[in-house]
Amino acid sequence: MNDFVYREGRLYCGDLGIEEIADSVGTPFYCYSLPTIRRHVRVFEESLRGVDHQTCFAVKANANLAVLAALGRMGIGADVVSGGELFKVLRAGIDPGRIVYSGVGKRVDEIDMALTAGILMFNIESEQELEVLAARASILNKRAPIAIRVNPDVDPETHPYISTGLKENKFGIDIDAALDQYRKAVRLDHVDVMGLDCHIGSQLTEVKPFLDAVERLKVLVSRLEEDGIHLRYLDLGGGLGITYEHEEPPHPSEYGSAMVKAAGDLGMKLIFEPGRVIVGNAGILVSRVLYRKETSGKTFIIVDAGMNDLIRPAFYNAYHEIGVVVEKGIGREKVDVVGPICESSDFLAKDRELPVLDRGDLIAVMSAGAYGFTMASNYNSRPKAAEVLVDKDKFYLVNRRQTYDDLTSGETIPDAIMEEGD
Ligand code: LLP
């Protein structure tokens, strides 16, 4: 259940008609429902009630400043993976003491930025990263709170591109090698060993892989205890899936209670890094039909949003439901919905039965609130779409559409080129 509903054949977000928003801001645009985001947070938090925990939203899923600010106001922290994400969450007013920093490739300037901000914890992904962090903390005369991200080698049974907890993945430190890293870390000046972290993958539709991972982490925690290394935080990552089509992921309450049952008795504060489950079904991408084109055997609906706006279908062959914004009731047909980009993989839906569409009609690509705008690019020099946040009967343009000037800002033509003859 979310805020995107049909009333008399017209798609609404809360009390506002999508068509009216499109008339006002143009297309394509992302539309997020604030009440839906808030409800997802409440449901997630409810499932962890009574357990010492901190939820750190995975910013890579949706980095819109207004969305981040709304989450921050609800006591949610952030899981960041770059200096840019850290900059944005601080700008959005998220408490640095609620920020964890993950990612295999933290640069020195990014490490310095996080040390200066005073974040909760660095999730360390390699031995060299640990050494660099210790050195930077010493130079800046700061203390670096760390968790080691281990790779528990469990199969999340999700798309191979978004599984991260298998031995062959680049993420984390092999769980069998982690003990040595901890022994090393506790001896480092300026480093405070605070926790243990894992993230096994995204769009998981079963609880079992999460529980398998917790079991392996628990073995390591007790092994560390024997060595006199006591940890305060257990970061269980993100990864809970959502329904795009027919998937039946566990309800957040089922996930939460399973995790609490498995890890709630360790005396450690639990950290969660959900992304998709908070924002995925709280957002849509609205696009207008430019042309319909019939070739021998296929009908193409060519729309003004492409893989530069939403890359998931092209990248993962991901399914996104497509709704028409105003139903005309003139029959259905099987079509490919494609964008304007010059790539054959630029599609939003293939061989999809949809209501008959024609020039000027609006479509809504559903479940686009996570990994939509954050993965958008300027490919084919297309300005990035606008982002709109709806709160019941009000909408806010929270990110204006890029202009052509935005496309060249930062670029220069060296005089030498202009002075050169043929
Ligand atoms: N924590 C870490 C360390 C992560 O790498 C991720 C996602 C998350 C948390 C949040 O996972 P979530 O709760 O959203 O599943 N672009 C792909 C998804 C990539 C996910 C990468 N890491 C997609 O569009 O499906």
264 CA to middle of ligand 1, Å? 23
- 4-31+280-407: CATH class: mainly beta
Protein residue with least CA distance to atom 16, ligand 1: 371
Per-residue pLDDT tens, the chain, 422 aa: give them.
Answer: 579 999 999 999 999 999 999 999 999 999 999 999 999 999 999 999 989 999 999 999 999 999 999 999 999 999 999 999 999 999 999 999 999 999 999 999 999 999 999 999 999 999 999 999 999 999 999 999 999 999 998 877 766 666 666 667 788 899 989 999 999 999 999 999 999 999 999 999 999 999 999 999 999 999 999 999 999 999 999 999 999 999 999 999 999 999 999 999 999 999 999 999 999 999 999 999 999 999 989 999 999 999 999 999 999 999 999 999 999 999 999 999 999 999 999 999 999 999 999 999 999 999 999 999 999 999 999 999 999 999 999 999 999 999 999 999 999 999 999 987 66
d(CA 51, CA 403): 47
Nearest in space to 99 (alpha carbons), one of 107, 46, 91, 42: 91
257 CA to middle of ligand 1, Å? 21
- Asked if the domains at 4-31+280-407 and 34-278 fall in one CATH topology, the answer is no
Per-residue pLDDT at 258: 96
Ligand 1 atom index nearest CA of 241: 15
Task: Pull the structure tokens for residue 183.
Answer: 């022994």
Q: Name residues contacting ligand 1 (CB within 6 A).
A: 58, 60-61, 79, 102, 162, 164, 199, 202-203, 237-240, 273-277, 312, 370-371
Protein residue with least CA distance to atom 22, ligand 1: 202
Protein residue with least CA distance to atom 5, ligand 1: 199
Task: Pull the structure tokens for residue 409.
Answer: 């800002």
pTM over 0.95? The answer is yes
Domain residue ranges of the chain, discontinuous segments joined by +: 4-31+280-407, 34-278
Q: What are phi and psi of 87, to 5 degrees?
A: -55, -45
277 CA to middle of ligand 1, Å? 10
d(CA 196, CA 178): 10
319 CA to middle of ligand 1, Å? 17
Ligand 1 atom index nearest CA of 239: 15
d(CA 276, CA 301): 28
Q: Which residues are catalytic?
A: 342
Ligand 1 atom index nearest CA of 102: 3
Correct CATH for 34-278 of 3.40.50.1820, 3.20.20.10, 2.40.110.10, 3.20.20.70? 3.20.20.10
Ligand 1 atom index nearest CA of 315: 24
Strands 386-391 and 29-33: parallel
334 CA to middle of ligand 1, Å? 32
Residues 6+ apart with CB under 8 A from 23: none
Q: What are phi and psi of 255, to 5 degrees?
A: -60, -50
Per-residue pLDDT at 170: 84
Per-residue pLDDT at 2: 75
Probe target for ligand 1 pocket from 276, 315, 374, with the most ligand atoms within 8 Å of CB? 276
Q: How far is CA 238 from the centre of its chain?
A: 10
Ligand 1 atom index nearest CA of 103: 3
Per-residue pLDDT at 371: 98
276 CA to middle of ligand 1, Å? 7
Probe target for ligand 1 pocket from 37, 54, 57, 60, with the most ligand atoms within 8 Å of CB? 60
Task: Pull the structure tokens for residue 161.
Answer: 């591109």
Protein residue with least CA distance to atom 19, ligand 1: 162
d(CA 157, CA 205): 8
Probe target for ligand 1 pocket from 37, 82, 106, 202, with the most ligand atoms within 8 Å of CB? 202
22 CA to middle of ligand 1, Å? 30
Protein residue with least CA distance to atom 24, ligand 1: 371
Per-residue pLDDT at 163: 62
Across 40-190, where does the E strand assignment appear? 53-58, 77-80, 99-101, 121-124, 144-151, 173-174
Ligand 1 atom index nearest CA of 371: 24
